[in-house]
Amino acid sequence: MEIVAYGVLADEEALLQQALDRAFTGSHELRCLRMFLDADTVPTAAGHEIVLSSVNDTLDARVLRALADGGTRMIAQRSTGYNNIDLAAAGELGLTVARVSYYSPYSVAEFAWTLALSVNRRIVRAAHRTREFDFRLDGLMGRDLHGRTAGVVGTGKIGAAFARIAHGFGMRLLGWDINENPDCLALGMKYVERDRLFAEADLVSLHVPLMENTHHLVDADALALMKDDALLVNSSRGGLVDTDALLATLRAGRLSGVGLDVYEEEAGVFFLDKSLEVMTDERLARLMTFSNVLVTSHQAYFTRDAVGQIVETTVANVGDYLAGRPPGSGDNFLVGPPAGA
């Protein structure tokens, strides 16, 4: 059988191929495509029972119907998030949908801190200057984070890892979540209401999934509560932040620094080379003009450790589906567990 994978990055392909070879000893072939799966590219999936999707693929009802009509029976998403998949439509079509429920939380937590430290200490501006042999310190002053307050929005595995690093910096910890994490409580974290967290934190970092009740969690009201010199970091999902409200806040000269690894309209932009094109997304282009804003292309998860776990779990999900075994993790299969489970 030939399995087709979409949105495969160059550094990911070898790991994915190796994991498939180890699991199936050459009994299945892998076709890796750089392009994303959407209504225009879905004909290329015809005849493939198993499709390996990426978080930037568009798997709405129309695309899922085309996949089913073309013979696809399983979609294995190579990510934890699945808000790009219409699960109700998948269920109606009899498709099996799996995801990766867990991978290294340290990859994202450490990158969130990379963003926070970079915008706090003006690292990008400093690096650009020194490459031009400009060694002035004007405009590069940051702040000590020791003794200040970190607000962690979402205290699951990634949020807890972020909090442990903040604790190492000697920061006071505030948390917001529907459930309190004992590991965070042990660090001295105090759980508070969302508004209090935004008002008191010197650094706010987002680690919640994108759902209906978290869409634009950081809206104009939340931003108005934040300190004028606060830092905001989003390494979770772009839709958590209302971009228009953030731009208005930045135009008003508020917030000391913003680090964004995700953007609410990133589909069709992130992971692609747009350097020779006119940037038609005016909001993204505007964000890039602020010297205190750092935007990266959804790379927080992108370590060898995390990607290795992602591809191994994806291949294991495929194995469970093919063998009709119960899934290794109850959280991996979102729709239609393997037949005979």
Active site residues: 237, 266, 298
What's phi and psi for 4, nearest 5 deg? -110, 135
Nearest-angstrom CA–CA distance, 78 and 101:
10
Are 199 and 225 contacting, i.e. CB atoms less than 8 angstroms apart? yes
Nearest-angstrom CA–CA distance, 111 and 306:
12
Are 151 and 172 contacting, i.e. CB atoms less than 8 angstroms apart? no
Q: Residues 143, 208, 206, CA angle at the centre, nearest 5°?
A: 15
At a CB cut-off of 8 Å and minimum separation 6, what does 204 contact? 151, 153, 197, 198, 218, 226, 230, 231, 232, 233
Structure tokens, 17: 């191929």
